[in-house]
Structure 1
Amino acid sequence: MHKVLILYYSRHGHTRQMARLIARGVETVDGCEALLRTVPSVTTTEQAATTGDSADGGDPIVTLEELETCHGLILGSPTRFGHMASPLKYFLETTSALWMSGALAGKPAGVFTSTGTLHGGQEATLLSMMLPLLHHGMLITGLPYSETELIHTESGGTPYGASHTAGSDNSQPISESEKKLCIAQGKRIAQLSKKLAAS
């Protein structure tokens, strides 16, 4: 079974909802399983916890072993001034041993995000999230324009990865276009993980 790790941080639940849609896409591919994991919150006064659930009551906390043994990775975060949220960055900064061993090199990876506003930094966040994955030697893939929702979406959705516009009050639901792009991204990474493993 090929395991695609969908690793995310979510504060208000939108990124978690996207992660679950991406998982649906992964599991449309025979022989692939979605592994939904999150990271703990980090505050300025204390270090991240090592066990428990995310701030919004999401999925189990990821382990380094789960990251090491996955066949593909899809990384998700809300936007924080054009960057990923600190809890996700904090976790990635603990992966030096995997970087040194090359454990993630050659595996496919993608990214996704959610913002409050349409121009809230979606593309900057997605691009900045790719940087640590490139350092790990992962093969970054986005969404091609053969996914026609990219052309028609009036909210989130980019060629760099799935995205969602939640509204300034975080009340806007995930649109049909955004849902389709999330599912397409999960399917794409799952298919690539199988092809790369077979080669």
Structure 2
Amino acid sequence: MLKALILYYSRHGSTKSLAMNIAKGVEKEGVEAVIRTVPPIADYLSTQAAVPEEGAPYVTERDLFDCHALALGSPTRFGNMAAPLKHFIDDTSKAWLKGALIDKPACVFTSSSSMHGGQETTLLSMMLPLIHHGMILCGLPYSEPALHETTSGGSPYGATHVASNEVSSLSKDELLLAQAQGSRLARLTKQLNSR
């Protein structure tokens, strides 16, 4: 079965909510969603448990080799991805040297606490290492009606969420766009693997 790795870091739950809805879109198209996270930086510096006490398991290098697609998500940190996710990405040289991600589709997603909190620059910054890995990027086309109607999150670069406080629910448009992002990623995965 084709597998889409949904890899994210989330501190207050908003990015996790996006990840779960992207996973719904992926699975609606008949592709398995493999949900993984990364540990906080403090856990990288100390001995970490192989599995967190709650939530998604920590990602392994094997997950990168085994996936057929990747959705990468992070909260916005000053217009860039969060350090824990960047730390993991910076340590993927083995996968890069072996070409493990070449020609696999990928998308990116993010959340921020304000409308103009650097969402699009965060999405673009997450795309850069994926391009170096040889991945095929897919955004959200304007054929998605919610992209025209949203007054909260959503971008042609990827699904986003605007959290007005530390914990907030996805708006209707954000939810629709996250699921549409997952569906598009899964459809492209199936097309690229049908040869």
TM-score bucket (shorter structure): over 0.9
> Cα gap change, 1:48/1:120 in structure 2, threshold over 3 Å: closer, same or farther?
farther
Counterpart Cα distance in 1 of 2:109 and 2:5: 13
Normalising by structure 2, we get a TM-score of 0.96
Are residue 40 (structure 1) and residue 39 (structure 2) matched?
A: yes
Counterpart Cα distance in 1 of 2:138 and 2:149: 21
Normalising by structure 1, we get a TM-score of 0.94
Alpha-carbon offset, residue 68 of structure 1: 1.0
Are residue 182 (structure 1) and residue 178 (structure 2) matched?
A: yes
Which of 169, 172, 176 is 2:168 aligned to? 172
User: Is residue 101–residue 135 contact of structure 2 (8 Å, CA) maintained in 1?
Assistant: yes
Instruction: Tell me the amino acid that sits aligned with residue 170 of structure 2.
Output: I
Alpha-carbon offset, residue 48 of structure 1: 7.5
Alpha-carbon offset, residue 171 of structure 1: 3.7
User: Is residue 143–residue 160 contact of structure 1 (8 Å, CA) maintained in 2?
Assistant: yes
Counterpart Cα distance in 1 of 2:43 and 2:192: 40
Counterpart Cα distance in 2 of 1:179 and 1:98: 32
Give secondary structure in 1 for the equivalent of 2:28.
coil
Percent identity between the two aligned chains: 54
User: Is residue 48–residue 87 contact of structure 1 (8 Å, CA) maintained in 2?
Assistant: no
What are the ranges of 5 or more consecutive residues in structure 2 without an aligned counterpart? none
1:13-24 mapped onto 2 (5 Å cutoff): 13-24=13-24
RMSD: 1.6
Counterpart Cα distance in 2 of 1:190 and 1:108: 9
Counterpart Cα distance in 2 of 1:171 and 1:197: 38
> Cα gap change, 1:140/1:48 in structure 2, threshold over 3 Å: closer, same or farther?
farther
Instruction: Tell me the amino acid that sits aligned with residue 42 of structure 1.
Output: I
Alpha-carbon offset, residue 51 of structure 1: 2.1
Instruction: Tell me the amino acid that sits aligned with residue 122 of structure 2.
Output: T
1:147-162 mapped onto 2 (5 Å cutoff): 147-162=144-159
Are residue 197 (structure 1) and residue 169 (structure 2) matched?
A: no
Considering fraction of residues, name the structure with more helix: 2
Alpha-carbon offset, residue 44 of structure 1: 9.8
Alpha-carbon offset, residue 58 of structure 1: 2.2
Q: State how many pairs are aligned.
A: 195
